[in-house]
Amino acid sequence: MSAQLDPVLAQIDAELPAALDRLSALLRIPSISTDPAFKDACDTAADWLVTDIASIGFEASKRPTPGHPMVMGHAEGAGPHLLFYGHYDVQPVDPLDLWDNDPFDPQIEDTPKGRVIRGRGTSDDKGQLMTFVEACRAWKSVHGTLPAKISLFFEGEEESGSPSLIPFMKDNAQELTADIALICDTGLFDDNTPAITTMLRGLLGEELTIEGPDKDLHSGMYGGAAINPIRVLSKIIAALHDEDGRITVPGFYDDVPELSNAQMAQWQDLGFDAKGFLADVGLTTPAGEAGRSALEMVWSRPTCEVNGITGGYSGDGFKTVLPSKASAKISFRLVGGQDPWKIREAFRKMVQDMLPPDCTVTFTDHGAGTASTMSTDNPMFEQARLALSDEWPRPAAFVGCGGSIPIAGHFLDILGMDAMLIGFGRDDDLIHSPNEKYSLESFHKGIRSWARVLDKIANG
Amino acid sequence: MSAQLDPVLAQIDAELPAALDRLSALLRIPSISTDPAFKDACDTAADWLVTDIASIGFEASKRPTPGHPMVMGHAEGAGPHLLFYGHYDVQPVDPLDLWDNDPFDPQIEDTPKGRVIRGRGTSDDKGQLMTFVEACRAWKSVHGTLPAKISLFFEGEEESGSPSLIPFMKDNAQELTADIALICDTGLFDDNTPAITTMLRGLLGEELTIEGPDKDLHSGMYGGAAINPIRVLSKIIAALHDEDGRITVPGFYDDVPELSNAQMAQWQDLGFDAKGFLADVGLTTPAGEAGRSALEMVWSRPTCEVNGITGGYSGDGFKTVLPSKASAKISFRLVGGQDPWKIREAFRKMVQDMLPPDCTVTFTDHGAGTASTMSTDNPMFEQARLALSDEWPRPAAFVGCGGSIPIAGHFLDILGMDAMLIGFGRDDDLIHSPNEKYSLESFHKGIRSWARVLDKIANG
């Protein structure tokens, strides 16, 4: 810890009410990226950020894309060049009647687990994004300069599939390339333990539609003689796992690595409460591969899940229809070196091979991304880990993440730079759901954490 | 054929335009029984029928029920007592935009397969019901009397589950009991071959909902560790049939009879075009039990079909949800002595036994009815068969019916009387669908057929 840090932390503490006001102003802009009705709001949120970071001293610009704009900011400083990424767009708010308050009129609330700010985007990702902005503001206001060269990169399409991201990264590769990328869109390990996410699962999304008869039939007239696509689809889904919960797509496990002993030991030390993790959602028994812990199941093992299924009549009452088609959306979470495109082909072939006569299948590609494993050899990972450990009750951990954050992989693949994922979200933040919130402790200690990380990386 | 018949047939031929006008008047009343908005229309249709049959000389009455009214009519005559059943209610007309014309403004149309009357209820069942009424009218107008004692029994709730039917039958058992019931709600075997349906499959409707996690989860966060109800449901559905297409519910085949050699031979003589039957709906291969013909599959073998399935996200695009529940609607078509209530219990136990830890299942009962097999020993069956054979190009056949017509079973179970199902519908009538039609040949020859059947039964 350098002598520079203490006055910055004091400034952050003093400035917290003003920082909350700024966050609230950003939260009041309904920047739902997936809904064209909110296109202007997305633009307004980008403008707000340009103005705000310019006021800190960043050379700021709103950058058009075919979708919502990107926001870029650059500020010189001694030390390494850090690129910070966050996103200013938010998820839709339906069903609106499940919100206790207007999702775009954020309120501070006392809860049994501490004070929170409640509203859409508080945790995902406006509140997290602003932790870094506020750390920069505090540093600049105390020292008149930043401890490192810092670029800010805010996206407005993260919640709608990031269609403009890769082209923008390719078109602006030089401007975006830094010594490391910092991403604030993840969570704490638990309320007391900060985390740096170093393993992210990849994702392969597939939709398949099985068609049999060329129209819906009456199950009295044709039942028995006509093939039923729901039955065919169910049989395919049932065959995707064996009795031990392993996925049966040929070659699926070819590039799935085992954890190193060191990584396994570190995860064991975390004392992950598998029982509580499952009990939170009404479950008792890990449902994945036999012989694996719940933490492995969600962090380091691949999965195959059915995310949706539909066919025939599913309204009230009963209709004796024999439907002409049935569909399912299936996603694979991938780890290590698994190749999503190879797995897609193997999956599609397996389905084709299972089709009975008179059935056809149509596949819809819902995206593919490899898993990312960060190279923690980069000394900035250990510097960040120590910095976070100074702020929080328990030491920071290198953790896995069951979800997919494609941007981390893009930084590596397109720009050749490592990405360090540090975030302060909590499991009960209700992101993507009604009544989303962000803990004020996460916001406050998040700002302080970034100040410490900047200090440690810049000043050692 | 008696001397009485010829002038009646001539009268029917002469009266056809007027009969079509009467049918059109009835068709213009939108008596959709399932939709409360059409309650008055159902009442109007009942009134129309009361007036019409009274004009023929029936002692007619509209009889209130907790739902839509029944219509009863009685007319004395020599010979046996025949009870004729039909229904004046119709299916909803959605989706309205798929109709070429107003479904309640019936039109006569020329088609490549002959003239038809198009509109809701033309075939199911107003057009069929009126074939019998018109036969009575012609007979009465020629001879001043009817050839048999005839009771008419018209229901207004057939398309909405017949909630008032069984109570009404029990409360009016004496009035309704005759020597035989005649039901006109089925079809020809083919355009040239009339049919008397003597085997009707029973129906057991079940809905099951599998619940796992107590809320929808993010498949990144929980995928792998949390049980997925769609997978559980798919596995259950896949297990309901074995590799030979036989249903695996324990005891399911206990009371399934084999066809008699005589029945099998008669069906073979029909020259059923299985290839064409399947080709009509885009199929080539009978999908039921190995070693059974397509005709057996739909007439004499039991089935298990999934009529609908739903779970998770099935809208546009993709959501990586791990859903808390999944549901399916499943129906069993039953034959012979299969006991729907015993099969329901065996099915539910089988599902319960397949549930993995943390999963629960809820069942919803969607009705149960046994199969009906008519006793063709009653000489009126052979009399009717001969009468129909006189009217149509090919001899009439005793056939099975894959669907379920519960009223036939009720006549036997509640009133102890056989039911004879004779109808003139065709496979392409689009009943329950947009652009329903009834062939004018079916209407005209249907009226003549009933005149012949009445003559043969009354006069030998």
Residues of chain B with CATH 3.40.630.10: 5-200+371-459
Instruction: Select the residue of B225, B309, B310 nearest A287 (Cβ to Cβ).
Output: B225
Q: How much of chain B, in percent, has pLDDT values that exceed 70?
A: 100
Answer yes or no: is pLDDT of B434 > 70. Answer: yes
The highest-level CATH class for domain A5-200+372-459 is alpha beta
- Which tens digit of pLDDT belongs to each residue from A108-153? 999 999 999 999 999 999 999 999 999 999 999 999 999 999 999 9
- Helix segments in A313-422, DSSP class H: 340-354, 379-391, 406-415
Return the residue in A188, A283, A321, A322 with the most chain B beta carbons within 10 A, the one to mutate for interface testing.
A283
- Number of Cβ within 10 Å of residue B34's Cβ equals 14
Report pLDDT for A78. 86
Structure tokens, A286: 């890990």
Query: Taking CA atoms, what residue in B is nearest to A320?
Result: B307
- Which residues of chain B make contact with A357, given a CB cutoff of 8 A? 284-285
Q: What's the pTM? A: 0.85
Residue B182 to residues A139, A375, B155, Cα–Cα distance (Å): 93, 82, 14
Please state whether beta strands A180-183 and B397-401 pair in parallel, antiparallel, or not at all (unpaired). unpaired
A360 touches B at CB < 8 Å = no
Beta-carbon contacts of A440 under 8 Å, excluding residues fewer than 6 positions away, are A20, A108, A114, A115, A116, A117
B404 touches A at CB < 8 Å = yes
AA identity, residue B214: D
Q: Please tell me the distance from the alpha carbon of residue A32 to that of residue A38, in angstroms, as a whole number.
A: 6
AA identity, residue B34: T
Burial state string for A408-441 with b = 16 or more CB within 10 A and e = fewer than 16: bbbbbeebebbbbbbbbbbeebbbbbebbbbbbb
Answer yes or no: is pLDDT of A38 > 80. Answer: yes
Report pLDDT for A137. 98
Cα distance from B115 to chain A (closest Cα, Å)?
A: 25
Report pLDDT for B319. 83
Question: Residue B241 — pLDDT band, cuts 50, 70, 90?
Answer: very high
Please state the rounded mean pLDDT for residues A192-197: 96
Q: Please tell me the distance from the alpha carbon of residue B13 to that of residue B141, in angstroms, as a whole number.
A: 13
Structure tokens, A235: 């049989």
B230 touches A at CB < 8 Å = yes
3-state SS track over B76-106: CECCCEEEEEEECCECCCCCHHHCCCCCCCC
Q: Please tell me the distance from the alpha carbon of residue B307 to that of residue A320, in angstroms, as a whole number.
A: 6
Q: Do B230 and A306 touch (CB under 8 A)?
A: yes
- Which tens digit of pLDDT belongs to each residue from A408-431? 989 988 999 999 999 999 989 999
User: % helix / strand / coil in chain B, to the nearest 5?
Assistant: 35, 25, 40
Residue A6 to residues A3, A10, A12, A79, A393, Cα–Cα distance (Å): 6, 6, 10, 19, 18
Answer yes or no: is pLDDT of B66 > 90. Answer: yes
Answer yes or no: is pLDDT of A437 > 80. Answer: yes
Report pLDDT for B452. 98
- Which tens digit of pLDDT belongs to each residue from B112-145? 999 999 999 999 999 999 999 999 999 999 999 9
B256 touches A at CB < 8 Å = no
Q: Please tell me the distance from the alpha carbon of residue B426 to that of residue B439, in angstroms, as a whole number.
A: 8
Q: Please tell me the distance from the alpha carbon of residue A348 to that of residue A351, in angstroms, as a whole number.
A: 5
Q: Report phi then psi at B340, rounded to 5.
A: -60, -35
Residues of chain A with CATH 3.40.630.10: 5-200+372-459
Report pLDDT for A1. 64
Report pLDDT for B327. 97
258-277 in A: which are within 8 Å (CB) of B?
274, 277
Give the CB-side neighbour count of residue A452, counting CA atoms within 13 A: 22
Any idea which fold A202-256+302-369 has? Alpha-Beta Plaits (3.30.70)
Q: Is B174 exposed, middle or buried (0-12, 13-18, 19+ CB in 10 A)?
A: exposed
Average pLDDT score, chain B: 95
- Which tens digit of pLDDT belongs to each residue from B183-233? 999 999 999 999 999 999 999 999 999 999 999 898 888 999 999 999 999
Residues of chain B with CATH 3.30.70.360: 202-260+284-369
Report pLDDT for A79. 85
Report pLDDT for B1. 64
Beta-carbon contacts of B424 under 8 Å, excluding residues fewer than 6 positions away, are B128, B131, B184, B187, B188, B194, B439, B442, B443, B445, B446, B449
Answer yes or no: is pLDDT of A14 > 90. Answer: yes
Query: Taking CA atoms, what residue in A is nearest to B431?
Result: A218
Please state the rounded mean pLDDT for residues B70-89: 96
B281 touches A at CB < 8 Å = yes
Structure tokens, A281: 């959602």
- Which tens digit of pLDDT belongs to each residue from B345-380? 999 999 999 999 999 999 999 989 889 888 888 999
Bigger pLDDT: A247 or A403?
A: A247
Report pLDDT for B79. 84
Query: CATH number of the domain at B202-260+284-369, out of 2.60.40.1930, 3.30.750.24, 3.30.70.360, 3.30.70.20?
Result: 3.30.70.360
Q: Are A179 and A284 in contact (CB under 8 A)?
A: no
- Which residues of chain B make contact with A435, given a CB cutoff of 8 A? none
Q: Are A455 and A308 in contact (CB under 8 A)?
A: no
Please state the rounded mean pLDDT for residues B64-89: 96
A414 touches B at CB < 8 Å = no
Bigger pLDDT: A319 or B44?
A: B44
Query: Taking CA atoms, what residue in B is nearest to A202?
Result: B220
Report pLDDT for A66. 97
Please state the rounded mean pLDDT for residues A11-23: 98
Model ipTM?
0.85
310-329 in B: which are within 8 Å (CB) of A?
310-314, 317-323, 326-329
Structure tokens, B45: 């249709």
Q: Where are the beta strands (DSSP E) in B59-213?
A: 59-63, 70-75, 81-87, 107-111, 114-118, 149-155, 180-183, 195-200, 202-211
Average pLDDT score, chain A: 95
Per CATH, domain B5-200+371-459 is 3.40.630.10: yes
Q: Please tell me the distance from the alpha carbon of residue B382 to that of residue B164, in angstroms, as a whole number.
A: 33
Question: Residue B460 — pLDDT band, cuts 50, 70, 90?
Answer: confident
Q: Report phi then psi at B190, rounded to 5.
A: -150, -175
Q: Please tell me the distance from the alpha carbon of residue A260 to that of residue A306, in angstroms, as a whole number.
A: 30
Q: Do B224 and A356 touch (CB under 8 A)?
A: no
AA identity, residue A4: Q
- Which residues of chain A make contact with B294, given a CB cutoff of 8 A? 225
